[in-house]
Structure 1
Amino acid sequence: MKSRVVFLLLSLYFIVLVPVFAESPDREDSLPIYLTDEELQRLDEIGIRHRSTSAPVGEIRNSAEWEPSVGVIIRWPLGIPISLIAEMSEDLIVTTIVGTQQQQSNAQSSYTSGGVNMSNTEFIIAPTDSYWTRDYGPWFIFVDNEMAIVDQVYNRPRPNDDVIPQAIGTEWGLTVYGMDLIHTGGNHMSEGLGMSMSTRLVYDENDDDLTASEVDAMMLAYLGNDYTVLEYIESGGIHHIDCWAKFLNPTTILVKDVPPGHPSYDLLNARALFLSQQTSAWDQPYTVLRIFCPSGTAYTNSIILRDKVFVPLFNSSYDSVALQVYEDAMPGYEILGFLGSWLDDDAIHCRTMGVPDAGMLFIDHVPLTDDDVSAGDYPILTTIKACSGQPLLSDSLRVHYSVNGGSWQYVTMQSTKLQDEYIGYIPSQVGGSEISYYVEAADESGRVETHPYIGAPWAHKFIAPPQVPTLDEWGIFLTLALLTVAIIKKRKSAQS
């Protein structure tokens, strides 16, 4: 994939972007990301319009950000530039929450003049208090392969924002599970395989009603996630995990880096070390990458949507460095940078909420490592679930592999005795060879997906072990050895 960066000169920023943000809620149509003095007096109103329900029943999975997506949720008046919306609308349905029909007309006019693909836009009329759709928006889960919404209690006394997941569920015909837990989307990151992380803000905001173990149990019941809660990094601020960390895939975490002398310098280094010592869902230690974020920059606050990564830029000399970190860390993705009214603890991720594909092909596979493989063919065991409900195409179930960077070949997977489970065997290779591989599947809905999501550019890798001789090879070796011994004896006998 080519890389493309949207850089705007400082003069262009003030000429073009300021008019775009003239109607933005950070002027007069939105409450700030932090609690106002007035709201601090109304904390007892948090969740007054929340509707609780029992937890879902069945196999529950909370999808990850990098999984197949079809859309993104934002709010009008805007907190993001039109240029970002235009880029998102190339591939995704941009759902804009508007308070009135007049706001919808205003948004449509601005979108049209700003180059947004209007065929990829839709609107939901519902009043809101702010544009932090990440924080108050829906959390998406799959229950027995059916997409649904988990609605947490938004941690602000903002009743309009708090009921947006209900409005979206009604509009899209999705079941909404109301979870009686005060939480916020920016303080929750999931790796899509049964584990998620937050800072201890979730414990502190619920400690009047719930113990830490009860919070953990609720996250498991509603999201299907084992829960890791981490101590604070900053001495103040909103304490959201997306202010300093981001999952890039199930085993890779991007962690903020700051200059020595910064109040969080030692804590961030200790946290990066701690995470690198934890075991991921793929039974591997996390790979922790660092991204330098001097004061005023929130480079971890990006969003992954399909094969694009949208990164906030700050007119800083470190913008290009940050983009290169993403380039190096995420091969095959298109890395796009955007200027905006971003803050040190708030940027693109906070103001957008991705929407997964309800009919996605979910491919679950624990990649082979050097320690997993032995002599002989290499088994690739995979679980494939077609959430579309359409049959898989048997001849599309493939393991693509390459040896030492050579051309790609493939083997077809076959079903096992277990439901949704398939296996394919990469042929045995010469010991020491580097094997790269990825899994591909398609179903009759027309969806084609790979594992890892980006396919060949970020393929799984392992080193082929030395090969053990077969019985036939041992027989040949023994025969040659016996002949050699006989020849040596004959020569010695002749010499004597």
Structure 2
Amino acid sequence: MRFLNYCVYTLVVHKPNKRETMNKLNHLKILILLFLFSCSNNSKKDSEIVEPNFYSQGLNNRTAAEWEPALGTLFVWPLSIPHKLVIELAYDNHLFTMVENEDSRKEAEKWFKEWRINPENVTFIYAKQGVDAWWTRDWGPSAVFTNKKEYKLADGKYIYSTPVTGLACNDSLQFLYKDENNKVKLTQIDDDATIPLSEQLGFEILDLPINNTGGSVLTDGLGTAFSTCIILNENKYHGIDSENFLKLNDSLLGFQKYNIISNFETYGIQHIDCLLKLIDEETILVAEPPNDHELYDIYNEIVTKELSILKTPYDNPYKILKIKTERYKEERLAAYTNSLILNKTVYVPLFDIPQDSIALKTWSDVMPGYKIKGFKYALDDEPFVTEELRKHYGTYGWNNGDALHCRTRAIWNPEMLFISVNKISPEVDSNQKKKVFATLIDYSKKGLVENKNELLWRIAGETEWKTITLSPTDTENLFSAEIPNYNSGETIEYYISAVSNSGEKERRPITAPIATYKFTNN
């Protein structure tokens, strides 16, 4: 099992006489029955009973979440993203630029030099480009860590060009692009592009027999995935029924729980990254249309009847936040959830409407400590645009179902230091023990730095942080620390910090101490 619950108790043993022994045994039987009953009912009345719910990768594979440590971003040249976005991505991280040949590389280098991009921040990947090359999110690989801490590029099937469907999950699958003989255009070239990517970067491929189109799949890094139900139709078309699809996701990608939600477009690609965004393990950011838009009730029903009843891997209800969207072309909605989270920055598509500034403010509010960067994409303002791009998009490069997230893909750090924290409830009894459990996995295999894995805490309003060293538990990769009790009414802020011998340093929340976990004593 990936998430474990257990009850901890202590028996005090001494040497009584025979009659006392019988009485004690009878009492003990009653106590044990009461104890077992309390465990089965998850009773938290006894502050000495600890019932942690923690993540353990165990014998499973694990697929990385979007916000986990990344080396940089994969995209293609010629560009299908704004040049200012490329400049920012190069400044913040590393560019993995896919080109078809040497001439294409030279062309990219010419423009990169003009845009003052440091060539040391660029790696060129040579690969053939098919009809869907722009959408690296959809055909590109995700990062999977095996139970032996090996890093692999998970390469799903991406063979048919842009399947679409209606609202109902049992609506027939159709395709946007067909050839002159009315046959579905195949994207085998793009499906195969992961092979030269893996060869040139030196990463192994985990070949997946399923369709897991990138824009259709979101994960929390803890074995939970989210998709709209078009993903089942895509796999059924490919010959994989729903039962086998879920089994293969569990065994290969580690998705022990797969949340399939309703489609949200009256007709479209139904990619979930245009509806919502996981921003951490327990928070979902959902687009909210204007209340006079035809999709308002559909989005609202998904939130109230589906997302609101789901539980996080830590068995809590998800915190559901809203980002208001608006019409930008007739009835099309600006796809603000179609943003890229990369390390400590969020890159947001803008649609040249007044709502843009409100969307950036929302992103800033829900992601404290992150840099929020917005990007318009008027093709007439771009220094370099191919005729193919202009023919496809017209005058504006972002679309309601196809924006910034769709055309970028992280290359995750194979030696990352993974952290996940089971947070203390927001409100707790002042007499209850405040024990924090954190999973730390060093994928570099070089070990954690001793005494550098810490919980830092303070009373809200204070400036100095107090430090507690995390203690290993009997469970591999699981650590704990206990925050001292304080008076009722006090709010405590805390975060986790860890360092590996490979030099990786991580915190949770990621932008701590700007962002912190917190609870209030009652």
TM-score in terms of structure 1 length: 0.80
The structural deviation recorded for 1:376 is 5.5
> Aligned letter for 1:444?
N
Q: 1:219 aligns with which of 219, 242, 249?
A: 249
> Aligned letter for 1:59?
N
- The reply on whether 1:416 has 2:473 as its aligned counterpart is yes
Partner of 1:468 in structure 2? none
- The reply on whether 1:345 has 2:349 as its aligned counterpart is no
Give, in whole Å, the separation in 1 of the partners of 2:218 and 2:111: 32
- The reply on whether 1:184 has 2:187 as its aligned counterpart is no
The structural deviation recorded for 1:238 is 1.2
Give, in whole Å, the separation in 1 of the partners of 2:485 and 2:292: 53
The structural deviation recorded for 1:141 is 0.8
Percent same amino acid at aligned positions? Answer: 32
Give, in whole Å, the separation in 1 of the partners of 2:222 and 2:100: 36
Mark the CA change 1:113 to 1:373 in structure 2 (over 3 Å): closer, same or farther: farther
Q: 1:375 aligns with which of 411, 428, 431?
A: 431
The structural deviation recorded for 1:117 is 2.5
Give, in whole Å, the separation in 1 of the partners of 2:453 and 2:253: 29
Deviates more, 1:453-462 or 1:89-98: 453-462
Partner of 1:315 in structure 2? 352
SS in structure 1 at match of 2:444: coil
- The reply on whether 1:258 has 2:289 as its aligned counterpart is yes
Partner of 2:150 in structure 1? 146
> Aligned letter for 1:286?
Y
Give, in whole Å, the separation in 1 of the partners of 2:291 and 2:475: 53
Partner of 1:21 in structure 2? none
Partner of 2:338 in structure 1? 301
Q: 2:232 aligns with which of 203, 206, 216?
A: 203
CA contact (8 A) 2:430 2:488 kept: no
For residues 1-21 of structure 1, give each alpha carbon's deviation from its aligned partner in whole angstroms, at most 9, with x where no partner exists: xxxxxxxxxxxxxxxxxxxxx
> Aligned letter for 1:277?
I
Partner of 2:383 in structure 1? none
The structural deviation recorded for 1:136 is 0.5
> Aligned letter for 1:82?
H
> Aligned letter for 2:136?
T
Deviates more, 1:108-117 or 1:327-336: 108-117
Partner of 1:136 in structure 2? 139
- The reply on whether 1:96 has 2:91 as its aligned counterpart is no
SS in structure 1 at match of 2:268: coil
Give, in whole Å, the separation in 1 of the partners of 2:224 and 2:192: 26
- The reply on whether 1:267 has 2:298 as its aligned counterpart is yes
For the aligned residue pairs, the C-alpha RMSD in angstroms reads 1.7
CA contact (8 A) 1:390 1:444 kept: yes
CA contact (8 A) 2:198 2:205 kept: yes
Give, in whole Å, the separation in 2 of the partners of 1:235 and 1:124: 38
Give, in whole Å, the separation in 1 of the partners of 2:77 and 2:431: 59
Mark the CA change 1:58 to 1:112 in structure 2 (over 3 Å): closer, same or farther: farther
Partner of 1:247 in structure 2? 278
Partner of 1:111 in structure 2? 112
Give, in whole Å, the separation in 2 of the partners of 1:397 and 1:70: 23
CA contact (8 A) 1:82 1:111 kept: no
Q: 2:370 aligns with which of 311, 333, 339?
A: 333
For residues 161-199 of structure 1, give each alpha carbon's deviation from its aligned partner in whole angstroms, at most 9, with x where no partner exists: 111222222222222121111231001111111101111
> Aligned letter for 1:178?
D
The structural deviation recorded for 1:275 is 1.0
- The reply on whether 1:232 has 2:263 as its aligned counterpart is yes
Partner of 1:396 in structure 2? 452
**Where do 1:445-484 residues align within 5 Å?**
445-465=502-522
Higher helix share: 1
Q: 1:438 aligns with which of 486, 491, 495?
A: 495
Structure 1, unmatched stretches of 5+, are 1-56, 466-496
For residues 132-157 of structure 1, give each alpha carbon's deviation from its aligned partner in whole angstroms, at most 9, with x where no partner exists: 00000011111122211111111421
CA contact (8 A) 1:60 1:141 kept: yes
Deviates more, 1:180-189 or 1:369-378: 369-378
For residues 37-77 of structure 1, give each alpha carbon's deviation from its aligned partner in whole angstroms, at most 9, with x where no partner exists: xxxxxxxxxxxxxxxxxxxx943111111111111100011
Give, in whole Å, the separation in 2 of the partners of 1:114 and 1:248: 31
> Aligned letter for 1:462?
F
CA contact (8 A) 1:312 1:348 kept: yes
CA contact (8 A) 1:138 1:164 kept: no
For residues 348-382 of structure 1, give each alpha carbon's deviation from its aligned partner in whole angstroms, at most 9, with x where no partner exists: 10000012111111112211104666626522222
The structural deviation recorded for 1:206 is 2.1
Structure 2, unmatched stretches of 5+, are 1-57, 162-185, 329-333, 378-396
Mark the CA change 1:370 to 1:344 in structure 2 (over 3 Å): closer, same or farther: closer
Give, in whole Å, the separation in 1 of the partners of 2:314 and 2:121: 36
Give, in whole Å, the separation in 2 of the partners of 1:457 and 1:69: 21
> Aligned letter for 1:336?
K
**Where do 1:481-496 residues align within 5 Å?**
none
Q: 1:159 aligns with which of 181, 188, 197?
A: 188
For residues 292-324 of structure 1, give each alpha carbon's deviation from its aligned partner in whole angstroms, at most 9, with x where no partner exists: 222231111100011100001111111100001
> Aligned letter for 2:467?
Y
For residues 440-469 of structure 1, give each alpha carbon's deviation from its aligned partner in whole angstroms, at most 9, with x where no partner exists: 00011111101122222221111124xxxx
> Aligned letter for 1:255?
V
Return the index of the structure with the highest Cα Rg: 1
CA contact (8 A) 1:72 1:354 kept: yes
Deviates more, 1:365-374 or 1:179-188: 365-374
For residues 317-357 of structure 1, give each alpha carbon's deviation from its aligned partner in whole angstroms, at most 9, with x where no partner exists: 11100001101111010100011111111111000001211
> Aligned letter for 1:216?
L
CA contact (8 A) 1:399 1:411 kept: yes
TM-score in terms of structure 2 length: 0.76
Mark the CA change 1:65 to 1:85 in structure 2 (over 3 Å): closer, same or farther: same
Partner of 1:76 in structure 2? 77
**Where do 1:40-51 residues align within 5 Å?**
none
